[in-house]
Amino acid sequence: MTTDLPKPTYAHNMRLLGFSDLAGHIDTVQVMVQRGHAYVGNIFTGGFSIADVSDPRAPRPVAFIAAPPNTMCLHLQAHDDLLLVVHGRDGFSAASAAYDPAKTAGRNWSAGMAIYDISQPAAPRQIGFLPVAGIGLHRIWYVGGRYAYASAMLDGFSGHIMIVVDLADPAKPELVGKFWLPGMAAGETPHWPLPDGNYSLHHPIIHGDTAYCSWRDGGLVVVDVADRSAPKLVTHRWWAPPFGGGTHNALPLPDRNLLIVVDEPGADNQEDGAKLVWVFDNRERANPISIATMPQPHDHDYVAVGGRFGPHNVHENRPGSFVSSETIFATYSNAGVRAYDIRDPFRPQEIGALVPPAPTRFYDPRPNRPHVLQSNDVFVDRNGIFYTTGFSDGLFIGEFTG
């Protein structure tokens, strides 16, 4: 089996252990691993996949749960017996009806959040659904407890906003709170610095009563959610322009009062500028200060490799997984997976890299996509085994040896 393992393009302090093409569902985005099973959101093939990864050297696809027609389930959250999965319009499918915020009739996709019981890890059973009116949900944050938080594109808003979902009864999820930036709701006048910018919540990460929201071209938005039904703005920082926007994750490291913020590339070959992973000092919640960035991979000329070159996700320190405020794992699109030592937060160092090979089969339906690795997400378990995805890259499993 291991003899079939593809050879990485580059590795440093990291070793490739296993690979699965997930029975053909190689279009992989968010990945969660729990109880020896990987839950993987698919972006193009309409659903999500489950693989038995109890032997990381021999991952085995065990299920594919199809989404309703014209619906994407690219992001999901697994915690204990619950799996929350986004439903949103599949913008890549020609069969999807056009989105017209004024017309609800004729919408041929599912919009909302599906809730599964995964007490049988390989056999999820849907127990609830939160419908929303609009394009749907993009990404969720849920690590147990009563509330889930998500980005949702709802009728009446110009982009994704934050919603708070009450899961007191997981069979009857309820939307209890909303937060958006002034200018996003119908009737409000926006004053965005980039007229063509995308001012839209990618997703929030919650610590205590604070939601750290990555707002794509809108940067970082810190929101007080002490009152779940009435979230309040604490502060808003944006660095596009001069930087290229695409803010994608904001991960608090509460024990060190730091915040890791990722900007995702929105164009190939760094045509929208070099995107970076930022370190913020977060000692003053209302005055986060950017203090450093992670060094960019320089072991190859990744701009010349083609496709996206830049950070996409960081491992988000979910409880039960690898939790560290000193070692940060990130995906870097065509530069694979990177690990950083941030013990000195002013001078982060790269301490590991794994660049899986370019896909042999290419699934991305978008026109003119270069056939290169495009790493999307990384999940690290408590033993330092990591699981990483990509647009046509299946599921790679690796180990950090640094």
The residues binding another protein (CB under 8 A) are 193, 238-239, 241-243, 257, 276, 281, 283-284, 287, 289-293, 295, 346-347
Residues β-bridged to residue 21: none
Tell me how far, at minimum, the Cβ of 365 lies from another protein, in Å.
Answer: 36
Separation of alpha carbons 333 and 327, rounded Å: 19
Dump the DSSP string for 182-229.
Answer: TT-BTTPPP--SSTT--EEEEEEEEETTEEEEEEETT-EEEEE-SSTT
Tell me how far, at minimum, the Cβ of 196 lies from another protein, in Å.
Answer: 16
Separation of alpha carbons 193 and 206, rounded Å: 27
Tell me how far, at minimum, the Cβ of 206 lies from another protein, in Å.
Answer: 21
15 C-beta neighbours (distance < 10 Å), count: 12
Closer to another protein by Cβ: residue 182 or 241: 241
Tell me how far, at minimum, the Cβ of 292 lies from another protein, in Å.
Answer: 6
Q: What's 368's DSSP letter?
A: T
Sign, CA torsion 11/14/20/26: negative
Closer to another protein by Cβ: residue 243 or 400: 243
Tell me how far, at minimum, the Cβ of 344 lies from another protein, in Å.
Answer: 9
Residues β-bridged to residue 249: 262
Q: What's 8's DSSP letter?
A: P
Closer to another protein by Cβ: residue 257 or 324: 257
Closer to another protein by Cβ: residue 64 or 238: 238
Closer to another protein by Cβ: residue 80 or 344: 344
Closest residue by Cα to residue 62 from 399, 398, 387, 395 = 395
153 C-beta neighbours (distance < 10 Å), count: 22
Secondary structure of 279-337 in HEC code, one letter for each residue: EEECCCCCCCEEEEECCCCCCCCHHHHCCCECCCCECCCCCCCCCCCCEEEEECECCCE
Tell me how far, at minimum, the Cβ of 150 lies from another protein, in Å.
Answer: 29
Tell me how far, at minimum, the Cβ of 283 lies from another protein, in Å.
Answer: 4
Tell me how far, at minimum, the Cβ of 293 lies from another protein, in Å.
Answer: 5
Closer to another protein by Cβ: residue 150 or 220: 220
**Token pair in block for residue 46:** 């309409």
Tell me how far, at minimum, the Cβ of 262 lies from another protein, in Å.
Answer: 15
Closer to another protein by Cβ: residue 106 or 242: 242
Closest residue by Cα to residue 147 from 233, 227, 43 = 227
Closer to another protein by Cβ: residue 137 or 259: 259
**Surface-to-core class of residue 291, CB atoms within 10 Å of its CB (0-12 exposed, 13-18 middle, 19+ buried):** middle
Evaluate whether 170 touches 182 at the Cβ level (below 8 Å): no
Closer to another protein by Cβ: residue 257 or 269: 257
Torsions phi, psi for 117 (to 5 deg): -90, 120
Separation of alpha carbons 366 and 254, rounded Å: 39
